[in-house]
Chains A and B, each alone.
Chain A
Amino acid sequence: MKTKISHTDVTGTISTDSIAEEHSAQNADDLDNMFDPQRLRLSQNFAATVGVKKRVTVIQVRKPGKQEFIRVHPSSDYCVETAILEFKEEGETYLVDPALWNDLPGELIPKIIYTTINRQGVLRLWPVRLPDEEGKLDDWNQSALESADIAKTAWIRVSSNRSAGMYETFEASGNLSEPQWPDITFTEILKIAFKGKYIDHWEHPALLKLRGES
């Protein structure tokens, strides 16, 4: 319906001549229907008109906190067995390109990196040491591997027991909901987590430091 509205300051007159009257109300019932609140309801589903997606920009690489319940991503696509370089004093962990592994004998640590999520939906990577070439592994790491395995199907928290020299696993007994894994590939996770900490060439500052050249 098109409506022409004119106005003059002198008379304050409004014209309601309608150019096309096809929708005009013909009688009082039509008017009542037009203003019936049941027909006037607007949608309250605001999210349907504007899409907002949570974007992961930071992913920490560390073992879970001792009071934190976590799950490990059950898919093998979301973990990797690799070699990392650790600077313990600085608390820094670097992922090393396989092409450089043979050039760094004795410096790299074989680790499996799991994808974890906690009850608050925070995504992290959890590196756990793998057995060495002789197949040896201490109780700390052995127990951590076992914990990670349990966490693929249950909410757990891991806590160190110094006198036993290993991690203890505490499984939540409540009927808890399944984790909501974010829609992000493992490659993207690694890129975010190791941004600036991926060693793919010999002149990388971390390797210069290791060689005492920086």
Chain B
Amino acid sequence: MISVFKNIIAIDFEFSAPAGERPYVVCLVAKNLTTGERWRYFRDELLAMKIPPFPHGSRSLVVAYYASAEMTCYLALGWPLPEYVLDLFTEFRCLTNGIKLNFGAGLLGALNYFGLPSIEALEKESMRELAMRGGSYSSNEQDALLNYCESDVLALAKLLPLMLPLIDLPRAILRGRYMKAAGCIEYNGIPIDSDSLLLLQEKWDAIQQTLINKIDSEYGVYDGKIFKTNLFASYLLRKNISWPQLPSGALDLSDDTFKDMSRAYAWLCPLRELRVTLSRMRLSTLAVGQDARNRCLLSAFRARTGRNQPSNSQFIFGPSTWLRALIKPQPDTGLAYIDWSQQEFGIAAALSGDQLMKDAYASGDPYLAFAIQAKAVPADATKSTHSSEREQYKACVLAVQYGMGAESLAARIGQPVIRARELLRLHRETYKTFWRWSDGAVDYAMLQGKLWTVFGWTIHLDDNPNPRSLANFPMQANGAEMLRLACCLMTEQNIKVCAPVHDAVLIEAPLTDLDFAISQAKECMKKASRIVLDGFELNTDQEVVRYPERYMDKRGQKMWATVWETVNELSSKSNDGPRLAKECGHG
């Protein structure tokens, strides 16, 4: 199959990329694995080139390890992206996804896995540091960097023949296609209100304590900046809340549990947001470049499901939802956050072929449709006439998607376990075809040791497989395929994608073109769903933000307001504060 390519070019760039910045290309080494020809260039020579020095036409295949980084270098040099990319990182991940690797999934890990020699990790690190240093390099340093860069290219040349028989090339090329899109997205970044960020960063220490004082006044669970479990236990007792426990008997204080319990007891939301804000958010680590854009590695294919797994602390779409309000379009531009409606439900319906489930999705309100199909509400029920029933059936649908048991569902809907069990039973009874298909997938995985997506992203079972996550794999991993394909289609149509976010994308366009860009993007997302789901089309929704508005996640709205109330209070005590807050639009 690889013979369809006339040239197979292994490439590696060395570059530096301080947090949030675009790459500063240092050098490139490339080698034509078909002819043996090689190319070694340092920065100044590369900047003078308008196209790559090696064959880059439609019969060339570029081979790299973690290709999205190489693609950002292409973009930084103003080069057209290669037509076809084979990323040995994505293929190594696909071959070993789910298997514990002693040396990780990096290039050294792959070389080790295939029994190939590699340069010492220590040596690699010192050369990386040299590349990251940037600035001017002596001729010795240049040689050292080029030699180091070439050693990675030679490593690719050794790795490829060993991996090739294990690679499903057409689908590997599709994954490589996404790494091109990921490079574009990482290069674009997300526009950030840097003035507000600066103000928050300056006052962050004082803000934290004031936030605790404000929010904790309703709970009384903090001692200074420390969350106290015993105080929280007393609070639960006062409020008569039964809280999930760990096998040890201690309270389960994981964020997932807080998230579930916050759905059942809405008044816990501010406390959860405070905990997330204090424990995970490091404003200083949010990667924002000089051009006021948030950029970080998307870490494509890092999650077991094949989803991106960007750093929570560097990525603006991390867990602190209120912080997302820092996303703000630049003057004369707008942003659109476009997501697939009930993506997982739609995928489950389409892939299982469950007609009732498909009908429920097509109704536009699958939760109410489920209640109607289960004959729990009349056929003419609406969201307003049967809102509480709808909420329960919605929680049940989501519980099935998350692989929840009756106890967790009961906690989420605030009903006895017997009710939750009945809802789950109704789901099984209503969507029999889906359950047959889902159980069949888990059976297959447990018997054959693997599952895969429509484009071959594979999960291999380790010695302790979790049937619940296996049951969810087809929805999650095919959802990831859909998002990747949509990102490819969009970036190839020059739509400026700023970020992929689980089942959504954030795009940016000049205000004059925004509506057109949105309709194009939605069309790409619909097309991606049709391809992944064999003709079944998923709907999309969008939120549009036009300058000078800012993006706002509903879940973080209250916290955002509280934070700025706090900033204003703190600022009023200093001279420059009110002016700064006002300039940022929070005065």
Partner-B contacts on A (CB < 8 A): 1, 3, 5-7, 9, 11-18, 21, 24-25, 28, 30-31, 34-35, 37-42, 44-50, 52, 119-120, 174-175, 177
Contact = CB atoms under 8 A, between A and B. Distances in A.
A46 B531 contact: no
B135 interface: no
B445 interface: yes
A79 B17 CA distance: 77
A120 B351 contact: no
B84 A31 contact: yes
Interface of B: 1-6, 8, 10, 31, 33-36, 58-59, 83-84, 153-154, 157-158, 160-161, 164, 170-171, 173-174, 177, 351, 375, 425, 429, 436-437, 439-441, 443-445, 447-448, 451-456, 474, 478, 485, 531-532, 534
Given A7-B157, A14-B33, 8 more contacts: A5-B161, A24-B3, A24-B4, A34-B4, A40-B454, A42-B453, A44-B441, A46-B445
Contacts of A35: 84, 170, 173-174, 177
Contacts of B455: 37, 40-42
Given A12-B154, A13-B33, A31-B58, A40 B444 contact: no
B301 to A, nearest CB: 16
B60 to A, nearest CB: 10
Contact of A16 (B8, B441, B452): B8
B4 A31 contact: yes
A174 B375 contact: yes
Nearest to B441: A46
A3 B1 contact: yes
A35 B455 CA distance: 11
B164 A50 contact: no
B4 A177 contact: no
Contacts of B35: 13
Nearest to A20: B3
8 contacts: A13-B36, A31-B58, A40-B455, A41-B531, A42-B453, A46-B440, A47-B441, A50-B440
Given A46-B440, A50-B448, A175-B375, A12 B4 contact: no
Contact of A47 (B1, B4, B157, B440): B440
Nearest to A11: B36
Contacts of A45: 437, 440
A83 B425 CA distance: 37
A6 B34 CA distance: 10
Contacts of A6: 161
Contacts of B33: 12-14
B443 A14 contact: no
Nearest to B474: A44
Contacts of B443: 46-47, 50, 52
A46 B437 CA distance: 8
B4 A42 contact: no
A40 B160 contact: no
Nearest to A21: B3
A139 to B, nearest CB: 31
B34 A14 contact: yes
A21 B2 CA distance: 11
Given A12-B154, A31-B84, A35-B173, A42 B3 contact: no
A5 B164 contact: yes
A21 B1 CA distance: 9
A12 B444 CA distance: 40
Nearest to B528: A37
A12 B37 CA distance: 10
Nearest to A4: B3
Given A13-B33, A13-B34, A50-B447, A44 B59 contact: no
A52 B443 CA distance: 7
B375 to A, nearest CB: 6
- Top 6 closest pairs, chain A to chain B, by CB: A47-B440, A12-B157, A46-B444, A28-B58, A18-B3, A7-B161
Contacts of A14: 2, 8, 33-34, 157, 160-161
A40 B174 contact: yes
Contacts of A21: 3
Nearest to A46: B444
A25 B447 CA distance: 38
Nearest to A18: B3
A3 B160 CA distance: 14
A35 to B, nearest CB: 5
B181 to A, nearest CB: 13
B429 A50 contact: no
Contacts of B351: 44
A113 B158 CA distance: 72
A183 to B, nearest CB: 14
B531 A25 contact: no
A172 B4 CA distance: 66
Given A7-B161, A49-B444, A28 B59 contact: yes
A14 B162 CA distance: 11
B454 A41 contact: yes
A44 B436 contact: no
B19 to A, nearest CB: 34
Contact of A42 (B157, B441, B454): B454
B170 A177 contact: no
Nearest to A47: B440
A16 B429 contact: no
A1 to B, nearest CB: 7
Contact of A37 (B154, B158, B174, B441): B174
A47 B436 contact: yes
A119 B58 CA distance: 60
B146 to A, nearest CB: 16
A30 B84 CA distance: 13
Contact of B171 (A11, A18, A40, A174): A40
A214 to B, nearest CB: 44
Given A41-B454, A44-B351, A16 B36 contact: no
A120 B425 CA distance: 8
Contacts of B440: 45-48, 50, 52
Contacts of A41: 454-455, 531-532, 534
Nearest to B172: A35
Contacts of A18: 3
A6 B8 CA distance: 13
Contacts of A9: 158
B304 to A, nearest CB: 17
Given A14-B160, A46-B440, A37 B1 contact: no
A48 B83 CA distance: 37
A39 B6 CA distance: 23
A25 B4 contact: yes
Contacts of B160: 7, 14
Contacts of B161: 5-7, 14
B486 to A, nearest CB: 11
A56 B295 CA distance: 57
B130 to A, nearest CB: 24
A9 B34 CA distance: 14
Contacts of A177: 429
Nearest to B421: A120
